[in-house]
Amino acid sequence: MKILVPVKRVVDFNVKVRVKADGTGVDLANVKMAMNPFDEIAVEEAVRLREGGLASEVIAVSCGVTAAQDTLRTAMAVGADRAVLVETDAELQPLAVAKLLRAVAEREGVQLVVLGKQAIDDDANQTGQMLSALLGWPQATFASKVVVGDNKVTVTREIDGGLETIELSLPAVVTVDLRLNEPRFASLPNIMKAKKKPLDTLKAEELGVDVAPRLKTLSVAEPPKRAGGVILANVAELVSRLRDEAKVI
């Protein structure tokens, strides 16, 4: 069984982004970029399945600019066998990404796609579900446990109120949540080895997908700032403020 793991190049999670003065977007010039943290968890899970003999190959794929090659090298440094870059300078929205990923999944003949549940830049939480719909495959979102069996995968999902376990027939799509695993770090020798692993590049147009954005961003603004608060001397003062000033208790 081959596993496809889509990985997105995003702003590093430690960066506090700033809105551009002209309100057209956020300022990404000279900002540290990294693999979307959820995708690190997805790669780790796929690699563990291969190490456990449940998968034959792990293919990382990224859609976007040339620099996304770095993200793919990172995926290979932690164990992905090879990588595909679907290269485009166009703005990609989740539906377009899902269509590109469908094309790659079909070309590669994969049985399982493991994605992050959410990209921490657009915070969309859509791509895996959309991909699954387009492929006509079942989906398990927000996975905290994945068990691959004979022609099926059993997934425990984080839902409101607790956990749910579902069983999907393969092929299937799984999106991962934070508690699924703890991703390993890439060792120096593995980073070196990753440089020699195959990385193929396709142009988005070659896949015959219309990637034109459906949503137009009219403006991007800073969220309203909260007025500065006060540090209080003791609990008694807090209680009286909450009671008499804020009137919330």
Partner 1 sequence: MSILVIAEHDNQHIKSATLNAVTAAKQIGGDIDIVVLGGDCAAAAAEAAKIDGVARVRVIDAAHYKDQLAENAAIILAQMAGTYTHVLVAATAFGKNLGPRVAALLDVAQVSDIVAVKSPDTFVRPIYAGNALATVQSSDPVKLVTVRTAAFDAAPTGGGSAVVENAPQGPDLGVSKLVSRELAVSARPELGNARVVVSGGRALGSADAFHAVVEPLADKLGAAIGASRAAVDAGYVPNDAQVGQTGKAVAPELYIAIGISGAIQHLAGMTESKVIVAINKDPDAPIFQVANYGLVGDLFELVPQLTASL
Ligand X SMILES: Nc1ncnc2c1ncn2[C@@H]1O[C@H](COP(=O)(O)O)[C@@H](O)[C@H]1O
Ligand Y SMILES: Cc1cc2nc3c(=O)[nH]c(=O)nc-3n(C[C@H](O)[C@H](O)[C@H](O)COP(=O)(O)OP(=O)(O)OC[C@H]3O[C@@H](n4cnc5c(N)ncnc54)[C@H](O)[C@@H]3O)c2cc1C
Task: State the binding string over 105-144 for ligand X (x if CB under 6 A, else -).
Answer: ----------xx-xx--x-xxxxx----------------
Least gap, CB of 76 to ligand X (angstroms): 15
Q: Which does 216 bind (CB under 5 to 8 A by kind): ligand Y, partner 1, ligand X, none?
A: partner 1
Nearest-CB residue for ligand Y? 37
Task: State the binding string over 164-203 for partner 1 (x if CB under 8 A, else -).
Answer: xxxxxx--x----xxx------------------------
Q: Is 211 in the site for ligand X (CB under 6 A)?
A: no
CA distance 211 to 99: 8
CA distance 216 to 133: 23
Q: Which does 169 bind (CB under 5 to 8 A by kind): partner 1, ligand X, ligand Y, none?
A: partner 1
Closest to ligand Y by CB, 54 or 120? 120
Q: Are 42 and 114 in contact (CB under 8 A)?
A: yes
- C-alpha torsion angle, residues 142, 146, 149, 154 (rounded to 10): -40
Question: What distance separates the 2 farthest-apart alpha carbons in the chain?
Answer: 68
* Ramachandran sector of residue 125 (left: φ over 0; alpha: ψ -120 to 50; beta: rest): left
Least gap, CB of 110 to ligand Y (angstroms): 25
Q: Is 120 in the site for ligand Y (CB under 6 A)?
A: yes
Q: Which does 57 bind (CB under 5 to 8 A by kind): ligand Y, ligand X, partner 1, none?
A: none
Residue 187 DSSP label: P
Least gap, CB of 37 to ligand Y (angstroms): 4
User: β-strands 9-11, 152-159: how paired?
Assistant: unpaired
* Residues in region 40-79 near ligand X by CB under 6 A: 42, 62-64
The half-sphere exposure of 131 on its side-chain side, counting CA atoms within 13 A, is 32
* Residues in region 41-60 near partner 1 by CB under 8 A: none
Report whether the peptide linkage leading into residue 224 is cis, meaning its omega lies within 30 degrees of zero.
Answer: no
Q: Is 37 in the site for ligand Y (CB under 6 A)?
A: yes
Closest to ligand X by CB, 26 or 241? 26
Pick the closest to residue 126 from 117, 137, 134 (CA basis).
117
Q: Which does 238 bind (CB under 5 to 8 A by kind): ligand X, partner 1, ligand Y, none?
A: partner 1
Among 55-63, 188-196, 199-207, 225-233, the segment contacting partner 1 (CB under 8 A): 225-233
CA distance 152 to 88: 34
Least gap, CB of 241 to ligand X (angstroms): 40
CA distance 237 to 231: 10
Q: Are 196 and 75 in contact (CB under 8 A)?
A: no
Instruction: Please report, as ranges, the residues that interact with ligand Y according to CB under 6 A.
Output: 13, 37, 120
